[in-house]
Amino acid sequence: MTFNSTEFLFFFPVILTFYALAFHRGRWREGVLLVASYLFYMSWNWRYAGLLLLSTAVDYSVGRLIVQESRPIVRKTILIVSLCSNLGMLCIFKYYNFFVELVGGQTAALGLNISFLKHELLLPVGISFYTFQTMSYTIDLYRGEKVFEKDFLKFAVFVAFFPQLVAGPIVRAKQFLPQLHQVPDVTCQRVQDGLLLVFRGLFKKVVIADLLGLLAVDKAFANPGAFSSWDLLIALYAYTFQIYNDFSGYSDIAIGLARILGFDLPQNFNRPYLSQSVREFWTRWHISLSTWLRDYLYISLGGNRVPLWRVRVNLMITMLLGGLWHGAALHFIAWGAYHGFLLMMGKGKEGKSSKSEHVWGASVLGRQVVCFHLIVFGWLLFRVQDLPNFVHYTEGLIKNGLGTQFHELFYAVLGLAIALHVIPLTRWAAMEKRFLQLPVPAQAVAYALLLIMFCGFTLEAPSFIYFQF
Amino acid sequence: MKLAYLKIVIWISVSLVAVELALEVRAMSRGWDTLFFGSAIVGERVIQKAGGSSEFGPTPSFPFRSRIVPITKSSGDQRYWIASSSHAEDSYLQPTAIFPVVLDRTLNEEGLSAVVLNASRAGNDISANVEDLKRWGPQWNPDYVILYQMSLTVGSISKKLFSGNRGQKASLNAQAEKTAGPVSWVNKLVESTTIYANVKGQIAARVEASRVLANDLGIQGEQEYAELVHQFIRAARGIGAAPILTTFATSHTRQHLGKFPEEIALLLFRNGAFLSVEGWVRSIERFNEVTRQIAGQEGVMLIDVASEVSGQPEYFRDFVHFTPEGHKAVARTIKAALMRMEPREVSIVAQGQRPSL
């Protein structure tokens, strides 16, 4: 069950009704949220609910032990046990087969005939997200932050909260747990705001991302040899907007659903393709992951408090692991390395560019264009199925000539995606405000018509790209 | 939190129900079943849904949509098994109008003791026909098994060839497919709404038609099709019956490509699109040619339905499904071919040698 599936269309109102009925009884309210979250997760594969529960139980117990323990060495040991447990689970499900293949290939190249067993377990949906979330909780406790949660039910809701369970935003304990200790802030206005966010996200996902994929991107990447250089270039731009609208659409829906339930989740995207530098891009793209990597990895490695060469190495390590987080494949590692390299190159130059930014409008635009194209090239590494596919696609970009096979509808959707990205936020806010001032029945009719349109645009209900990570 | 805060959700539901009701009233006037109102009060489908005449199946003990006969064969009977899908099952028409039943009646009118078993079910492709033949064939003991099948096979082969490599999405969908259970009741409910039917026909089909579509299935597609036909021949012979192949007829052919009707093209795309209109026409042409070649190689009788029926839109209500007149034309073509078979050729066909037509 995904947010864009028909099942969810029925699931959420039912949950909302139970939630409203239980709202003024704290334990019942949390119980409804927990049951809903587990039902949502089990709709993918019920077997992995046990894994989620195990992860919750381990980190809850570790949290208790860390808080009760005052000896630094013991606290550190407990933290290491927790990290090993979380990362071990992630490694087994996500990375084990990849490393077995890698090592198997190397040993075969050396003439050694060693066979390694591979497992056929499916990757549990959202494991990278909830693992990072629970890890942040234990690390925060170890660092002495006041985020301890003694109530297992509340902690379980924090880990499994269904709007952001499978693809983020990755929520920190200090952002979410305090909200569970208050009566959630639900008002008519917030419900309408949340619904607007949900529909904005669905529009991004269903109308823009899925259509860009369906009409051009999937075919172009599957068989680059069959397309002209122009089409491959346009498909690459299209993928750039597809992945943004897919993922930010998911985040909008997650934030909107949480708001309807009375919770606030952090912003995850801020028009990243308007960035003027790659560093700025990472403050606007998947913000909850990039800040997680900054706070728990980059700073742990020494951050900016070390010599410049070490800072650069830290950046590279952080981005390599960030790439690996996305998937167990060499092209994801290459994508991480590419961004690491760009960040390394930009390190130490941040101050120089900021002055001209306010003086020379053209220079701002120039930087945006250059940065955008650096990011686009990175998406090529990200989207290809493997490195030979990358070579094939790159060759096609150079050698395949002009001409297009893409339909006018595709170009219209791509144009819409670009326009929506660059329209000033103030204009958006004004339009949304005007819409929210309409009478409720008028808003409802608009939403109903949009739902019908979404149904027509995507009957297959393709999954969100980030679900696989 | 008050339930009143959720009034917008209630209003959305009310709006959706209102749209559904409005579309259902329109659909009812055209004789279609609807979710809220059930079977329409006009149209041919009701007659069939109400059970039609007790003379025709399917029934629990007779799994064919044709004249009910006992499982035990009478001496002198020739049993013809029609392996097809919605083209021959055609639940939108009365049983008496569909070509297997028309064939059954006209063969008997010629004084032959013929029984036509219509083992066609909507959604069956050749693999499903083979499964049905293996499941029911030994009990019902047909003498001839006639295959009239192609469009679903073109659809499934094109899906296999063109959707197999979708990178990130493919891996996810594969995972979802592995973990997915049967289709949920929610999906079934939504798919039975008139909103869904309209959206599928009007929006989804247009979107599908805007994809980059292939103009043929290539050698690989032909090889896959040939293998399926060979499987069918082996299955028919496996139960001691003589396989008979047919070419597949369509409302429009290559000569209509420049003026292919949009409403028919949209029907082609409503279930997902991998082939262009030209791709469909060309694939069916090529597969018909493959059918002819296999018939020659295998010594199997071939009935060239396409030559007699294709390209005559009055015989079709869409690209591949027949009008009552179309059903009659197909039955006439098959009957003529069967009547040209000399009695001695029956045994030759059964032995796998091709009779001259």
- Average model confidence (pLDDT) across chain A: 87
Q: Which residue matches tokens 């006018």?
A: A408
What does DSSP assign to residue B240?
Answer: T
Q: Which of A410, A445, A459 sits opposite B204 (nearest CB)?
A: A459
Q: CA angle at residue A77 from A73 to A79, to 5 degrees? A: 115
Q: Concatenate the DSSP letters of all residues of B287-302 into one string.
A: HHHHHHHHHHHHT-EE
What separation in angstroms does the CA of A376 have from each of A183, A271, A284, A316, A383? 44, 14, 15, 19, 10
**pLDDT tens per residue across span A108-139:** 777 777 777 777 777 787 888 889 999 999 99
pLDDT of residue A123: 73
**Of all residues in chain A, what percent carry a pLDDT higher than 90?**
51
Q: How far apart are CA B104 and CA A372, in angstroms?
A: 69
User: CB of A440 within 8 Å of any CB in chain B?
Assistant: yes
Which SS3 state, helix, strand or coil, does residue B322 take?
strand
Q: How far is B181 from chain A (nearest CA, A)?
A: 10
Is residue B24 predicted with pLDDT exceeding 80?
yes
CB B300 within 8 A of CB B294: yes
Burial class (CB within 10 angstroms; exposed 0-12, middle 13-18, buried 19+) of A61? middle
Query: Is A192 within 8 Å of B8 when comparing Cβ atoms?
Result: yes
* Main-chain dihedrals φ then ψ at residue B112, nearest 5 degrees: -85, 150
Domains of chain B: 64-350 (3.40.50.1110)
pLDDT of residue B49: 44
* List A326, A331, A339, A421, catalytic entry: A326
- Average model confidence (pLDDT) across chain B: 82
pLDDT of residue B355: 39
What does DSSP assign to residue B80?
Answer: E
Return the higher-pLDDT residue of B268 and B21.
B21
Q: Which of residues 260-299 of B touch A (CB under 8 A)?
A: 272
Beta pairing, strands B144-147 & B242-246? parallel
Per-residue pLDDT averaged across A436-444, rounded? 91
pLDDT of residue A65: 93
Residues B259-273 as b or e (16 or more Cβ within 10 Å = b) = ebeeebbbbbbbeeb
**pLDDT tens per residue across span A4-28:** 888 888 899 899 989 988 988 878 9
Residues in chain B closer than 8 A to A385 (CB atoms): 165, 167
Residues A190-228 as b or e (16 or more Cβ within 10 Å = b) = bbbbbbbbbbbbbbbbbbbbbbbbbbbbbbbbbebeebb
- State the maximum Cα–Cα separation within chain A, in Å, rounded to a whole number: 74
pLDDT of residue B101: 96
Q: How far apart are CA B317 and CA B340, in angstroms?
A: 30
Q: How far apart are CA A403 and CA B165, in angstroms?
A: 24
Beta pairing, strands B301-303 & B242-246? parallel
Q: How far apart are CA B9 and CA A199, in angstroms?
A: 13
**Of all residues in chain A, what percent carry a pLDDT higher than 70?**
94
In this structure, the number of other CB atoms found within 10 A of the CB of residue B72 comes to: 9
- Give B245's strand partners: B147, B302
Which residue type does A133 have?
Q
Classify A263 in phi/psi space as left (phi over 0), alpha (psi -120 to 50) or beta.
Answer: beta
pLDDT of residue A462: 62
Is residue A40 predicted with pLDDT exceeding 80?
yes
Classify A461 in phi/psi space as left (phi over 0), alpha (psi -120 to 50) or beta.
Answer: left
* Main-chain dihedrals φ then ψ at residue B19, nearest 5 degrees: -65, -45
**pLDDT tens per residue across span B245-282:** 999 999 999 888 888 888 888 777 766 678 888 889 99
Query: Is A16 within 8 Å of B195 when comparing Cβ atoms?
Result: no
Q: Name the nearest CA neighbour of B346 among B178, B146, B143.
A: B143
Query: Is A222 within 8 Å of B167 when comparing Cβ atoms?
Result: yes
Q: How far is B270 from chain A (nearest CA, A)?
A: 10
Return the higher-pLDDT residue of B22 and B82.
B82
Q: Name the nearest CA neighbour of B131 among B107, B149, B151, B106.
A: B149
pLDDT of residue B102: 96
Is residue B53 predicted with pLDDT exceeding 70?
no
User: Which residue stretches of B180-246 are H helix?
Assistant: 185-191, 194-199, 205-209, 218-238
User: CB of B6 within 8 Å of any CB in chain A?
Assistant: yes
User: CB of A404 within 8 Å of any CB in chain B?
Assistant: no
pLDDT of residue B175: 44
pLDDT band at B34 (very low <50, low <70, confident <90, very high): confident
Residues in chain B closer than 8 A to A219 (CB atoms): 211-212
User: CB of A439 within 8 Å of any CB in chain B?
Assistant: no
CB B334 within 8 A of CB B303: yes
pLDDT of residue B32: 67
* Main-chain dihedrals φ then ψ at residue A392, nearest 5 degrees: -60, -45
pLDDT band at A466 (very low <50, low <70, confident <90, very high): low
**pLDDT tens per residue across span B145-156:** 999 999 888 888
pLDDT band at B316 (very low <50, low <70, confident <90, very high): very high
A326 given a catalytic annotation: yes
Burial class (CB within 10 angstroms; exposed 0-12, middle 13-18, buried 19+) of B54? exposed
What separation in angstroms does the CA of A301 have from each of A109, A136, A316, A317? 34, 16, 11, 9
Task: Count how many pairs of residues, chain A against chain B, have C-beta atoms within 8 Å.
Answer: 141
Q: How far apart are CA A422 and CA B138, in angstroms?
A: 68
Q: Name the nearest CA neighbour of B75 among B113, B110, B111, B116.
A: B113
Q: How far apart are CA B88 and CA B97, in angstroms?
A: 10
**Of all residues in chain B, what percent carry a pLDDT higher than 70?**
83
Q: Name the nearest CA neighbour of B268 among B118, B152, B353.
A: B152
- Give B144's strand partners: B80, B242
Query: Is A452 within 8 Å of B168 when comparing Cβ atoms?
Result: no
User: Which residue stretches of A110-187 are H helix?
Assistant: 127-142, 152-160, 173-180
Edge-to-edge strands of the sheet including B78-83?
B114-118, B78-83, B144-147, B242-246, B301-303
Q: How far apart are CA A68 and CA B321, in angstroms?
A: 75
Q: How far apart are CA B12 and CA A253, in angstroms?
A: 17
pLDDT band at A459 (very low <50, low <70, confident <90, very high): low
Return the higher-pLDDT residue of B5 and B134.
B134
pLDDT of residue B276: 86
Query: Is A20 within 8 Å of B168 when comparing Cβ atoms?
Result: no
**Of all residues in chain B, what percent carry a pLDDT higher than 90?**
43
Which residue type does B195 have?
I
Lowest mean pLDDT of A68-72, B126-130, B248-252, name the range: A68-72
Q: CA angle at residue A127 from A122 to A132, to 5 degrees? A: 155
User: CB of A13 within 8 Å of any CB in chain B?
Assistant: yes
Lowest mean pLDDT of A196-205, A244-253, B4-13, name the range: B4-13
Q: CA angle at residue A402 from A400 to A405, to 5 degrees? A: 95
**pLDDT tens per residue across span B333-350:** 999 999 887 554 444 444
Select from A14, A97, A218, A447 the residue whose CB has the most chain B CBs within 10 Å, as the one to mutate to test that interface.
Answer: A218
CB B175 within 8 A of CB A122: yes
Q: Which residue matches tokens 């597609």?
A: B221
Classify A267 in phi/psi space as left (phi over 0), alpha (psi -120 to 50) or beta.
Answer: beta
Query: Is A214 within 8 Å of B196 when comparing Cβ atoms?
Result: no
Burial class (CB within 10 angstroms; exposed 0-12, middle 13-18, buried 19+) of A399? exposed
Query: Is B9 within 8 Å of A13 when comparing Cβ atoms?
Result: yes
User: CB of A120 within 8 Å of any CB in chain B?
Assistant: no
pLDDT band at B206 (very low <50, low <70, confident <90, very high): confident
Task: Please give the radius of gyration of chain B, using alpha carbons only, rounded to the nearest integer.
Answer: 22
Q: Sign of torsion, CA A279 A280 A284 A285? A: negative
Q: How far is A113 from chain B (nearest CA, A)?
A: 30
Peptide bond into B58 cis (omega under 30): yes
Residues in chain B closer than 8 A to A221 (CB atoms): 167
Query: Is B179 within 8 Å of A407 when comparing Cβ atoms?
Result: no
pLDDT band at A89 (very low <50, low <70, confident <90, very high): confident
Q: Sign of torsion, CA A168 A169 A171 A176? A: negative
